[in-house]
Chain A
């Protein structure tokens, strides 16, 4: 995918680095700009949703209106102009989705071709081996591969809009159970207007035979993307889920406010990996996606485990804190993160580990890399509540600075209310070691490559948590994002 043509026809924005910046010519159906009760009802009606869901959306909308735009969180270390929430398109769908495709053969060939171009082949014969993909274009899911294999294992993996129709009990039981509609400003907005996203249910004792993947793509100009993902791992089950995202290059900012909820019951494990490569804006900070995402997992059952791995290279602004609520005794939470910012990008990202059950354990490894004029902040909370006997946390945050115009910040919040708990936090900030650079250069490797090798090594611990193909792609993303940062 590295040799894609990179000129966006419509915007004329030229960028040699962002290789996913083209847009597709796909006819789409869009809601009028702006947000009011009518918009919420329009989306719900489009999705032919049951009454309970419409009511839930309206409650969220009401809450959103009541608290006003001022309620948007201000504590993050992010500078950006206020978002005009009436200047956003809240629903955009490819035209062909009105009569949803029954199989891949019915999918609009233009969409298949578009995803091909992104390096995500959806064609039966060229499928990414061992990965079932749900492709989401703007607001709707356009295709899900490997359905037969999943069906055989009893795994449900489909667009959430489809799940609402086919498995309403499951959706109603778990939707909003981890991230309530009133959780925070952007989660509330998402609850009111979410359009689509993935739904996954793994039945008791089942180890999902293949990796599940959702590929998100914002295409429509001026549209926001508000997807909602819900994954439930029932007792004793296991699932590994991947998420990738890109957007075309545009001069204006696009809003992405997603919500992801994970539920792991007794002895279940969910591994959630993200490659976030939304359009970061150009060298001068123009354009780029505003990424305000709420991701949270409930390790509800005994011995359950939730692991978040994220590689964040995209977006003009990233605001996300994938968290784990460790409710079950002996439950485990993990957070592995690489956040790379360049040019005028800003990232305020981290995690929350809330220890409630006994013998709960969490690990946080976060690597931040700042270059250009970018600002990167790790913000993480570890709370050990009174009942969490023998809880353990280990946190390590390391930051690398490239050049003297960027910033790297670490803001941990540590709250301990149990004397048997043990928690340790370590953090370092430094630049790429000159001796290491010289050593590599002396062996004949050029400066840029040396720099890449060292930084790739700095991130290796995180990349190895990713499934193999994803790890390769992450390395590649790192290389592209680092281009032009030295010398």
Chain B
């Protein structure tokens, strides 16, 4: 930890210089988080650091980043690198800051505010920081200390219009800058909301995206949450999703990872009401020297709840993918039904996958299972296709597309599904399984 102290000084300077620009209502929260960050620093310890066992945070911790400033951009350019649709509410954040012109507000009952406003009603801001526990997590403390803007989405009771809110966090790629997107979604009883979070951009220069999203799923409410990450290889990205689900609530998450130098998505879902459920699925494709770490925790606190955790990875080049899935079933959480699975397709002899699907169970009347697979395609599968006249290349493509399609097909927003089918599948390398 000592060796990063110089870097921490840089963050101190940055903290002093930006404090005056950040919304007043957040200063207490930010000061406390900064204290924590000073105390614990970055999680760079290599020994006994189970949470970061397979991902080395040192490259991120050793760059002297400063907060990225807002710069207005041509919003039409964004439509080329992120999904977008005119029937959606599209909100653009450049370098972590809200860009007004792009965000064509459709009429909706959902209240959408941005944090940068100083004069937000107390009831809106009071929940910021309410779910994200940063006490033992340097990156989360960092975001909380430096957050300057982001959407606060409040879904009123009974709102079920099915509208899609599309959040685009664009990192312009200014050298050695960090942006700190922050999202808060709260849903009232018996409501439904669809939210897409896009983390896109970057450049050939070193940048860092450090985001936190807090999501509260109310009683009988449903949140369909999509997260797309598609940044350049010179971008590091450490993002957090913190979710609490109340009684009968449902949280559906689909996460798609297609690129960045070192990426980590730390998603923690706490099922705190009875008869609630979560369905977390993800697809990661790593190539070149990319590194992606999906660190997912599901905490079953209350009885009669379900969770499904299903991630799939395709690895090429010299890339490395890490999957750390943990399902915790507390003593009270009887009748829990939980399934966890991680499947990997490795296309290159130089790629590596590290998977740790763990279960911690303290209740006896439960049904819990997990599984993981990695490696080669079955020779029988390939022969079956060849015996129907399909050659090796075509068979390989069908297999890889089919592998990825299993997750993409579950996307319920048609425009997003076709966007993913096109952009994601087209980015997959051509490959030939040899038999």
Contact = CB atoms under 8 A, between A and B. Distances in A.
Real binding pair: yes
Interface in A91-116: none
Contacts of A403: 364
A407 B362 contact: yes
Interface string A400-436: 0111111111111111111111111111111100000
Contacts of A430: 366-368
A421 B376 contact: yes
23 contacts: A74-B48, A386-B350, A403-B364, A409-B358, A409-B359, A412-B358, A413-B355, A414-B354, A415-B354, A415-B355, A416-B352, A417-B352, A417-B353, A419-B346, A419-B376, A422-B376, A423-B373, A424-B371, A426-B370, A426-B371, A427-B370, A428-B368, A430-B367
Nearest to A400: B364
B291 to A, nearest CB: 14
Interface in B340-387: 344, 346-376
A80 interface: no
B313 to A, nearest CB: 11
A75 interface: yes
B364 A401 contact: yes
A219 interface: no
Given A428-B369, A429-B366, A416 B375 contact: yes
A188 interface: no
B358 A410 contact: yes
Nearest to B348: A419
Contacts of B351: 417, 419
Given A414-B355, A415-B352, A420 B375 contact: yes
A185 to B, nearest CB: 12
Given A412-B372, A414-B372, A430-B367, A419 B349 contact: yes
A429 B359 contact: yes
Contacts of B358: 409-412
Contact of A414 (B356, B361, B363): B356
Contacts of B67: none
Contacts of B375: 384, 416, 418-423
A458 to B, nearest CB: 14
A399 interface: yes
B331 A404 contact: yes
B359 to A, nearest CB: 4
Contacts of A406: 362, 364
A419 B372 contact: no
Closest 8 A/B residue pairs (Cβ): A401-B364, A422-B375, A416-B374, A419-B346, A414-B355, A429-B368, A410-B359, A431-B364
Contacts of B355: 412-416
Nearest to B368: A429
Interface of B: 48, 50, 331, 334, 344, 346-376
Nearest to B349: A419
Nearest to B369: A428
B369 A423 contact: no
Q: Which of A74, A418, A431 has the most CB of B within 10 A?
A: A418
A403 B366 CA distance: 12
Interface in A20-40: none
- Dominant secondary structure at the B interface: strand
Contacts of A412: 355-358, 372
Contacts of B366: 401, 429-431
B363 to A, nearest CB: 6
Interface string A427-451: 1111100000000000000000000
Interface string A371-412: 000000000000010100000000000010111111111111
B338 to A, nearest CB: 9
A431 B363 CA distance: 9
Interface residues of A, number: 36
A416 B344 contact: yes
A250 to B, nearest CB: 30
Interface string A24-63: 0000000000000000000000000000000000000000
Interface string A221-242: 0000000000000000000000
Contacts of A409: 358-361
Interface of A: 74-75, 384, 386, 399, 401-431
Contacts of B350: 386
A419 B368 CA distance: 29
Contact of A423 (B357, B363, B374): B374
B371 A427 contact: yes
B33 to A, nearest CB: 27
B360 A404 contact: no
B95 to A, nearest CB: 37
B364 A404 contact: yes
Nearest to B371: A426
Contact of B374 (A404, A413, A414): A414
B301 to A, nearest CB: 15
Contacts of A408: 359, 361
Contacts of B363: 401, 404
Nearest to B54: A415
A410 B374 contact: no
Contact of B371 (A416, A425, A431): A425
Nearest to B355: A414
A429 B361 contact: yes
Given A409-B360, A424-B373, A418 B349 contact: yes
A425 B357 contact: yes
A404 B359 contact: no
B353 to A, nearest CB: 5
Contacts of A417: 351-353
Nearest to B49: A75
Contacts of A419: 346-349, 351, 375-376
Contacts of A431: 364-366
B117 to A, nearest CB: 45
Nearest to B347: A419
Nearest to B322: A415
Nearest to A375: B362
A57 to B, nearest CB: 26
Contact of A424 (B331, B334, B372): B372
A416 B346 contact: yes
Contacts of A75: 48, 50
A74 B50 CA distance: 11
A384 B353 CA distance: 10
A139 B126 CA distance: 65
Given A416-B354, A418-B375, 10 more contacts: A401-B361, A409-B359, A413-B354, A419-B346, A419-B348, A419-B375, A423-B372, A426-B369, A428-B369, A431-B365
Nearest to B342: A414
Contacts of B364: 401-404, 406, 431
B312 to A, nearest CB: 14
Contacts of B354: 413-416
A386 B349 contact: yes
